[in-house]
Every structure is written in structure tokens, then in C-alpha cells.
A = this chain, B = another copy of it.
Amino acid sequence: MNLIGRKHWAIAEGYIPPYGHGPAPQMISHEAVCILNASDAEAHVEIMVFYEERDPVGPYRFTIAPRRTRHLRFNNFEDPEKIPHDTSFSSVISSDVPIVVQHTRLDSRQADNALLSTIAFPGND
């Protein structure tokens, strides 16, 4: 299996819509970071969250087992603190093994949901 990925990634856009429509959990407005660990080693991931008007918060820590994906919602980040809704942020994702990172938002503030997604920006390792 090809060891695809990088150890450092950034997502410049970040925003948790403050409300939504439709059945939970699928149709709750959410901001997600999808992480693929295609390697044979456990990935220890740290996410720093950057704001417009205060110091960055983190790291938020996650473990991803070998040959697994995790689709994490920023909405659910708890430690060291919750991420406020209706607030602009960015994030930097670091891992001890190569991973692939993609950013997705589902916005269900209005009657019909909207989606966005992009592969995150990879660092040079």
C-alpha cells in the first residue's frame, strides 16, 4: 500500500454555523476535518486552532489507528475548550506519521443545506 500523505496541514477557513435545520446528527450544521491514516502505524494528531482576536488554542489531540479514517467535527472539540460558534478560525494539523486532510462544511442554516470541501494545504514536512 502506498504511503501517501504529509505530516503538516493547514485549513485557513473555519466557521461553525450557529444553527441549523433537519434531523441530528447528519443535518446539524458542522465544520469537519477528515483525516486518512493510510499508514501501518498509529497517527498521533495535534490540531491548533487560530482566531482573529486572541491567541491560538490547543493542541486538540486525536489518535487514528493504522489504515483508518476519522471524520472529526470541530463542533465536538472539547479539550482544552469548546470552539465558539459564529466565529472565524483557522487550523493547523500535525501528525507523527503522514496523513491526508480534507476540510468539509455542511451548512443547514436555511431550509436546504449547502456544502463546501477542499483538500487542506500540505506543508513541506
A interface, CB within 8 angstroms of B:
1-2, 4-5, 8-15, 22, 26-27, 32, 34-36, 38, 48, 50-53, 55-56, 67-71, 86, 88-90, 92, 94, 100-123
Partner of A119, one of B56, B70, B89, B118: B118
> In the assembled complex, how far is the CB of residue A86 from the closest CB belonging to chain B, in whole angstroms?
7
CB-based contact B118/A26 at 8 Å: no
| Given the contacts A107-B113, A119-B118, A69 and B92 also touching, CB distance less than 8 Å | no
CB-based contact A105/B115 at 8 Å: yes
CB-based contact A50/B26 at 8 Å: no
Partner of A69, one of B12, B34, B101, B104: B12
